[in-house]
A and B are shown apart, each in its own frame.
Chain A
Amino acid sequence: MRIVLLATDAYGGHGGIALYNRDLIEALASEHEVIVVPRIVPHPVEVIPAGVTFHRQAAHHELAYVQTVARAARQRADLVICGHVNLLPVACAISRHPLLMVFGIEAWKPMGSRLSRALLHRCRAVVSISGLTRDRFLAWSRYAGPTHLLPNAIHLDRYAIRPKRAELVERYGLAGKRVLLTVGRLAGAERYKGFDEVMEVLPDLPRDVVYLIAGGGSDATRLQRRSVELGVSERVLFTGGFAETDKTDLYNLADVYVMPSRGEGFGFVLLEAMACGLPVLASKHDGGREAVREGKLGLLVDPANPAEIRAAVRELLDRGEKRVPPGLEHFSFARFRERVIEMMAQVTA
């Protein structure tokens, strides 16, 4: 089967959607021919797997994009996958019934242009990263066709439990400390990762517990100010942006991963943390709930209840040992690929 994927980004992208798309492409390419038309390619491109055509020139300018899409259309694809609702008019121009992907908060309220929304009924199916995103999308969109669930994949072989790297322990002053960690963009407009909520319970946790916030963004100054207000500025540490290659070491610096969030479509970082053996705390009220399989793999808290966050953090700190939960296998790339193949059979039947 020949599949055209209209993606926002994939290779050469650093975000969560780029990562998800790369996994999707790899899984599709094991059985199909895949042609990828990206909207943006912000960074140097990694190795493209065999069987995949990646039209990086499409990201150069608008005209190039239109030309590339037109060329892809002439290749008579069996299936067009639309990687973002904003691209739906393009997808519908080259396919009667494209397949639409929805991920996170962008799908939680009316999104895209009026034209995009009007075209939703043309989709042969909608694929969602989580049940929560699916339900929130269905609530506003009045889309009534079939839906499929395709949660994130984790390449377990790329992560490991390791000792804390001495150089990083020294850089952040973590010697003799127990470390809570959240990884995420510090986006001022959203504030949904739960950084504030964790800082607010810090005064009630033992003195040797510090909070490491890993990620860069415009909200850092406000968060620093808040840590001063709460009297915990010495116990809140910011890494700023970090190199992708340091990621596993960064997770291994921590003793507990905490994310009492409100805006995660799925919460891939929770899978990464678990793959590094960290006990995790996730939210009852966003996609994190599904990343920890309704509480099977980690503890769930109501992000609006500081007492619940406090009790869960204490319990996880007491656990002490690191281990990769066996149930994490559920999200392995092998299982992801099986889901993709089965889904393709269903949507093209």
Chain B
Amino acid sequence: MLPPHGGGRTRTTHMCGIAAFFAYRSSAEPVRREELTAITEHMRARGPDGGGTWISDDGRVGLGSRRLAIIDLSDQGAQPMFDVGGELAIVFNGEIYNHQELRAALERGGARFHSQTDTEVLLHLYRRDGEDMLPLLRGMYAFAIWDSRARRLFVARDPYGIKPIYYADDGGTIRFASAVKALLAGGAISRDVDPAGVAGFFLTGSVPEPFSIRKSIRAVEAGTSLLVDDGHGRREARTHHSVASVFRQAERQRVFAGLTEPATFLRERVEESVVHHLVSDVPVGVFLSSGIDSSALTAMAARATRRPIHTFTLAFREFRGRAGDEAPDAERFARQLETLHTTRTVSREEFQADLPRIVDAMDQPTIDGVNTWFVSKAVREAGLKVALSGLGGDELFGSYPSFRNVPRLVRIAGVPIVARVARLVRKHPKAAFIGRLALTYSGAYLLQRGLFLPAELPTILGSEMAEEGLRRLDIIDVVDRAMTPDPMSEFGRVASLEASLYMRNQLLRDTDWASMAHSVEVRTPLVDAALLRQIAPLLVQDRSAGKETFAAELPPWLRNRPKTGFFVPMNEWLDLPDDGTTTRMRSWARRVFDSFGATRF
């Protein structure tokens, strides 16, 4: 095996916005270059350093990309990329962390490479394994491969959905792109709002996959791939990874969990993931809050790399001297680790000045992402292009209150008196629904995580839109599918829900647009399918092992700090009206939605 840092110098580019068109029906118009270019150009922020488009000779297929150069801009990484015979063409957005290992295996099998890029590895791997290539990839990705021999388009997305890809299929031509707004920029797709997407946004704070805010646009779901055949169109999506099935499998593997000290095994595996995520030898930043996950990750990254690492923490005047102020502890820890530390203070004025750009970069309505916007801005100001984030630690190690509350709610909601008492408690807007929703994991999860509840939507959206939206969305079904197959354990169920709903639709999507807007690539070592498969048997058995492992990385003064985590004083900045919640996220959601509505709907 090659050392993790080897060959890093020769890596060149990271594709950051892609588009793919296939006019699969003979009656469909050929691909229009102006439309493809308009879509690709719309993603310029995602890839400011270059771009390219290609349309097949018969005009049936078009590929486009914008790229961000992490090291240098040589031509060997240019996209679309073709194989030697010109039979396969690819556009790729993301990062394959084990590409050197895969490349070595392909070379042993006789493959000849012409560049050092992970893009070319994908081409060779597809040639060897076809659709079966996906479980071999460790990384974040969305890519499209045009296979001219079989005349089909293969589109795939990483296990967790770290990298986005959306499509619109009008029955004759299917169009894929990294952003909803980019697809619209082509001008050929209907802008009609999807009430299901809107309802999903108000229920959960983000638009749940596979829905989008536009009726004509769907997400290729995380962990799936699509094949589009000439003449026939899209085949049913194929799933190559689901968190729920990993936890179900883990039930059978419980026996492994006892072999090693849990903390030792977990540390080995997480460190391995960190090393993989540091694959290219460029200066790397780390988002450092004073929370356990980001601090432990920083400590591990500092150990794993020979270069000094840069750390970034946000500070707000509004929080100074209060528990929410992360800066002092983060600074103290950064000094201890000898990182190059930046505390970036964000003022109300800066936020208000950036707000129009934030809303513009926001691909779909969401209540989060402002924190990532500013910390990515800070990374970019420091001249870095890559940053690690501790995102996913709470989902992996079960540190959200939901891990305790959801199973508890399901247990107590079955007791009739609880429902009756709950209905009498009018103080909290959600209390009245305990009796009806909390009988199942899905309902209890919505109650725990929900922004608004279904019965509240008509007052916000009007009864017609609310009704259609709720019917088409079928939120309970969306939540149920995140827990299918049944992971069989309390921990596995909540972990599947958190990873496949909140993390996927909210955290990862927001991280993508908010960091890409600053041309920064965020890597998430704790959001890694290989890591999950390795440690799931242990997590279902010893749910505190993960937290303990991370805590052990930290000095005691930091270990016992109450959980905060990249909060932004939105309330103070915007004078949001009281909505019955402390964070006023409900008011913020309406504000976001309105700004979308004013400019986009």
Residue numbers of A with Cβ under 8 A of B are: 105, 108-110, 135-136, 139-140, 189-192, 262-263, 285, 294-295, 299-300, 302, 304-308, 311-312, 315, 318
Contact = CB atoms under 8 A, between A and B. Distances in A.
Contact of B263 (A139, A191, A285, A299): A139
A108 B265 CA distance: 9
A304 B534 contact: yes
A192 B256 contact: yes
B364 to A, nearest CB: 32
Nearest to B110: A318
A239 B515 CA distance: 57
Interface of B: 1, 105, 108-109, 129, 132, 134-136, 255-256, 259-261, 263-264, 267-269, 530, 533-534
Given A136-B261, A315-B108, A304 B530 contact: yes
B255 A108 contact: no
Contact of B260 (A109, A302, A306): A109
B109 A315 contact: yes
Nearest to A138: B264
Given A110-B261, A285-B268, 9 more contacts: A105-B260, A135-B264, A139-B264, A140-B264, A189-B255, A192-B256, A263-B259, A285-B534, A311-B136
Contact of A302 (B108, B109, B256, B530): B530
Contacts of B108: 315
B63 to A, nearest CB: 27
A262 B537 CA distance: 12
B26 to A, nearest CB: 36
A108 B260 contact: yes
25 contacts: A108-B259, A108-B261, A109-B261, A109-B264, A136-B261, A136-B264, A139-B263, A139-B264, A139-B267, A140-B261, A140-B264, A191-B255, A191-B256, A262-B259, A263-B259, A285-B268, A302-B530, A304-B533, A304-B534, A305-B135, A305-B533, A307-B135, A312-B105, A315-B108, A318-B109
A189 B258 CA distance: 10
A265 to B, nearest CB: 11
Nearest to A139: B264
Contact of B132 (A192, A294, A299, A307): A307
A136 B533 CA distance: 21
Chain B CB within 10 A, most for which of A135, A139, A263: A139
Chain B CB within 10 A, most for which of A299, A311, A315, A318: A311
Nearest to A307: B135
Contacts of B134: 307
A318 B256 CA distance: 31
Nearest to B105: A315
A312 B129 CA distance: 13
Contacts of A190: 255, 259
A109 B105 CA distance: 35
Contacts of A302: 530, 533-534
A135 B265 CA distance: 11
Nearest to A136: B264
Contacts of B1: 294-295, 300
A315 B260 CA distance: 31
A302 B531 CA distance: 10
B339 to A, nearest CB: 25
A304 B241 CA distance: 13
Nearest to B104: A295
B94 to A, nearest CB: 18
B102 to A, nearest CB: 9
Nearest to A204: B132
Nearest to B529: A305
Contacts of B256: 191-192, 262-263
B530 A305 contact: yes
A106 to B, nearest CB: 11
Nearest to B259: A263
Contacts of A285: 268-269, 534
Nearest to B536: A304
A149 B336 CA distance: 32
A116 B268 CA distance: 26
9 closest cross-chain pairs (CB), A and B: A307-B135, A295-B1, A304-B533, A139-B264, A109-B261, A108-B260, A304-B534, A191-B255, A140-B261
Nearest to B136: A307
A223 to B, nearest CB: 13
A294 B1 CA distance: 6
A279 B264 CA distance: 31
A139 B264 CA distance: 6
Nearest to B3: A294
A299 B1 CA distance: 8
A294 to B, nearest CB: 6
B103 to A, nearest CB: 13
A306 B259 CA distance: 20
A140 B259 CA distance: 13
A307 B264 CA distance: 26
B132 to A, nearest CB: 7
A315 B106 CA distance: 9
B129 A311 contact: yes
Nearest to B537: A304
Contacts of B267: 139
Chain B CB within 10 A, most for which of A109, A140, A312: A109
A285 to B, nearest CB: 7
A108 B256 CA distance: 13
B99 to A, nearest CB: 14
A302 B256 CA distance: 14
Contacts of B534: 285, 302, 304
A302 B108 CA distance: 19
Contacts of A110: 261
A295 B259 CA distance: 23
A226 to B, nearest CB: 10
A192 B259 contact: yes
A306 B105 CA distance: 16
Given A294-B1, A306-B135, A311-B129, A136 B530 contact: no
A262 B134 CA distance: 24
A307 B130 CA distance: 13
A140 B260 CA distance: 10
B136 A308 contact: yes
A49 B554 CA distance: 53
Nearest to A294: B1
A189 to B, nearest CB: 8
